[in-house]
Amino acid sequence: MIDVVHLLDDFAFGGVTRALTVFDHPELAAHARSRTVAIGKDLIAKRFDAEVLVTHVPPRWSRLPFLLSLRMRNAGARLVHVEHSYTEGFVRERVKAPRRFAALLRIAYSLYDEIVCVPRVQRDWLARSVGIPSHKLRVIHPWCGREELLALPPVPVHRDRPLRLVAYGRFASEKNLIALIEAVSMFAPGDVDLQLIGDGPELAAMREAAGDNSHIHFRGRIDNPAEFLNDCHAVIVPSRYEAYGLVATEARMAARPILVADVDGLPEQVGLAGLVRPMRTSDEIAAAIAEFAKLPLYRMGLHGRHRAAKLSGAILDGWKDLFVGDTAGHVETPLSRNAA
């Protein structure tokens, strides 16, 4: 049995916080005692009584002193980082100085023994474009933990009209929901209906974009996705960037087909479970919806559920391999020995 400390700076309930619930699973708890510690804006890290330290906060220039002290003050521990945030799409949309940003990642990641990527495309980008050694990168998809969704009835074989779409999560600019609202406004109420579940900084602008359209509905935050996934035909994710997208995972578990943007980790979830299309503009989203509406949604939903049902076993195996296999064979790095 090993001791694992997870370091986190944001405990708002979302994808990262929910992904951490995997470490309470009996299969992992049998191998590792995990606890979560808040780091806030700490400049100097503590010494932890643990064999493995896992950070779940994105590297920043201001955080480098903390990471360096974390490495030096815990020289005997294995240091692992889970990259929940940074992707090629994130750099394209948000980073003004890509070379400087790549330098930040190389410096920060050099302090770690291993980097866990959440989609495969993120691992490939870090190795190819950022220059992170491939032997330090592994892929473990984020944990969903919504097993009850596997029991929802699938979309009817002969669905009624309109096409009932759902978009949900945090209403932030990167989710591209204003463009989605503009796209749905192009359809007649009898053709497409959109349910928006969630809250966030874009809510006011989204309401303004929706105007008085009778086929666009704001339902607020609903913590149990089964309540609204059972009433929809499909889930749409038009994000500008998205490391993985647990929304798409939940949709697949619920046997709902997915219509996703062609960015970052979203296409990896599709296969036969939906459709991947460019969706940066409202016109592109409207064209994607029109094409999607003609597809066999029932069959795609079942394909998605079949694949999603296997995810939990692969995720648990990935973490068990990291905790048990790699920790047992951990060799201190030169930096660790010098720090000691």
Claim to verify: residue 116 and residue 171 sit in the same structural domain: no
Tokens of 33: 């005692």
Q: Does one domain contain both 236 and 153?
A: yes
Who contacts 313 (Cβ-Cβ below 8 Å, separation ≥6)?
Answer: none
Tell me if 332 sits within 8 A of 76, measured CB to CB.
yes
Beta bridge partners of 218: 196
Q: Print the domain residue range for 60.
A: 2-143+312-339
208 and 89 belong to one structural domain: no
My answer on whether 31 and 69 are in the same domain is: yes
Q: Does 137 share its domain with 152?
A: no
pLDDT in tens, 95-144: 999 999 999 999 999 999 999 999 999 999 999 999 999 999 999 999 88
Shared domain for 71 and 37, answered yes or no, is yes
pTM equals 0.89
Which residues have C-beta within 8 Å of that of residue 340, sequence separation ≥ 6? 75, 76, 332
* Three-state secondary structure call for residue 45: coil
**Average pLDDT along the chain:** 91
Asked if residue 101 and residue 210 are part of one domain, the reply reads no
Same-domain status, 226 and 271: yes
282 and 197 share one domain: yes
pLDDT in tens, 81-91: 999 999 999 99
When mean pLDDT is compared across 33-47, 184-198, 282-296, the lowest value belongs to 33-47
Give the CATH number, domain containing residue 16. 3.40.50.2000
Integer angstrom CA distances of residue 80 from 67, 113, 308, 321: 11, 6, 26, 13
Same domain for 53 and 122? yes
Mark whether 130 and 31 lie in a shared domain.
Answer: yes
Same domain, yes or no: 26 and 120: yes
Domain count within the chain: 2
